[in-house]
Amino acid sequence: MTTPTLRIAHLYADEMNIYGDRGNILTLTKRAEWRGITVEIRAVGRGPGADLSDANLIFWGGGQDSDQELVFKDAAAHKVTAIRRAIERGAVVLAVCGGYQLLGESYVTAEGKKLPGLALVDLHTIPGVKRNIGNIVIETSDLGLTPKTLVGFENHSGKTYLGPGLRPLGRVLRGAGNNGEDQTEGVADRNVFGTYLHGSLLPKNPHFADLLIERALGPRAIGRLVPLVDIEEMQAHQSVSERVLGRPASTRS
Ligand code: GLN
């Protein structure tokens, strides 16, 4: 088997990177390299000519409303076709908060400005009256993760609603999630994952990072990844879980 390459496209790395979202790229890189997988990272900024033809993982971080206003036109003009093609080929997308909101049909800012989204996923976001800020714990259902929980930190005023038939990334155990009303958090649609979880997300959720790497490389390239010793990473996960839920996450599948 030839050594696979993880090709990460980092969308709007300069414009949208709050709460250390770049840490997700570092986690993916290190966890792949520790398995002998070569990693290539391409920052994809504003302007024409985005080449995502060989990307197998696309990451889009969070941003304030002003950052989202800066990029949404560019995304619709220069990125959407390339992202859609990548998704159709099975590439993984991880979009956090502001990036997640712009994957949908529309995002209405706190000031009431409607930004058309990329309409890659059937969801939309409207402003809420309060900001949801704090630690969040969710429980995934059918991703096969052990533990099933994901922990993170959310900070958003947008309220996101999923279209019919779309599965959330998980069920909120504590926190607001998509809208603070229906207990859903994020979206898991084919290989497209959207979430409000910053933290950054992946350092404290190494099991989810590995799922993304496995799906990005595909079963024929990699099979299951060799397990790593994740003592510190899972201590970080458990400490958020204990603080927020008052109990550690169950490590039984
Ligand atoms: N501006 C968006 C909101 O407040 C997203 C914020 C973020 O990415 N943290 O809902």
- The residue contributing the CA closest to ligand 1 atom 5 is 98
Q: Which residues touch 239 (CB under 8 Å, ≥6 apart)?
A: none
Distance 79 CA to ligand 1 centre (A): 21
Assess whether the C-beta atom of 64 lies below 6 angstroms from ligand 1. Answer: yes
Residue 20 clears pLDDT 70, i.e. is over it: yes
From the CA of 142, how far away is ligand 1's center (Å)? 27
Domains, the chain, in order of start with CATH, read 5-245 (3.40.50.880)
Mean pLDDT of the 49-57 span: 94
Distance from residue 180's CA to the centre of ligand 1 (Å): 14
Per-residue pLDDT at 1: 60
Check if 198 is active-site: yes
pLDDT at 253 exceeding the cut of 60: no
Please confirm, yes or no, whether 207 is among the known catalytic residues. no
| Residues contacting residue 251 through CB under 8 Å, at least 6 positions apart | 146, 147, 234
Q: How far is the CA of 185 from the centre of ligand 1 (A)?
A: 14
Smallest CA-to-CA distance from 245 within 144, 160, 175 is with 175
Whose CA is closest to 207, among 134, 136, 151?
151
pLDDT at residue 110 greater than cutoff 80? yes
- Look at residue 77 in the predicted model and tell me its pLDDT: 96
For β-strands 57-60 and 92-96, DSSP reports them as parallel
pLDDT of 121-140, one tens digit each?
999 999 999 999 999 999 99
Question: Does the C-beta of 97 come closer than 6 Å to ligand 1?
Answer: yes
Convert the pLDDT of each residue in 195-233 to its tens digit.
999 989 999 999 999 999 999 999 777 778 999 999 999
Q: Is 117 within 8 Å of 107 (Cβ atoms)? A: yes
Active-site residue (options: 10, 124, 198, 207): 198
Which residue carries 């520790």 as its tokens? 34
Place of tokens 């290539």: 40
10 close to ligand 1 (CB < 6 Angstrom): no
pLDDT at 2: 67
Considering the candidates 10, 97, 124, 156, report the single residue annotated as catalytic.
97
Work out whether strand 192-195 and strand 92-96 pair parallel, antiparallel, or are unpaired.
parallel
Ligand 1 near 185 CB (within 6 A): no
Tell me the percentage of the chain whose pLDDT exceeds 70: 98
Kindly give the number of the ligand 1 atom that is closest to the alpha carbon of 128: 10
Which residue from 21, 24, 67, 68 has its CB within 8 A of the most atoms of ligand 1, so it is best to mutate? Answer: 68
The Å distance, Cα 156 to ligand 1 centre, comes to 4
DSSP the chain: -PPPEEEEEEETTTTS--TTTHHHHHHHHHHHHTTT-EEEEEEE-SSS----TT-SEEEE----HHHHHHHHHHIIIIIHHHHHHHHHTT-EEEEETHHHHHHSSEEE-TTSPEEE---SSSEEEEEEEEEEEEEEEEE-SSS--SS-EEEEEEEEEEEEEEPTTPPPSEEEEES-TTTSSS-EESEEETTEEEE--BSSTGGG-HHHHHHHHHHHH-HHHHSSPPP---HHHHHHHHHHHHHHHSSPPP---
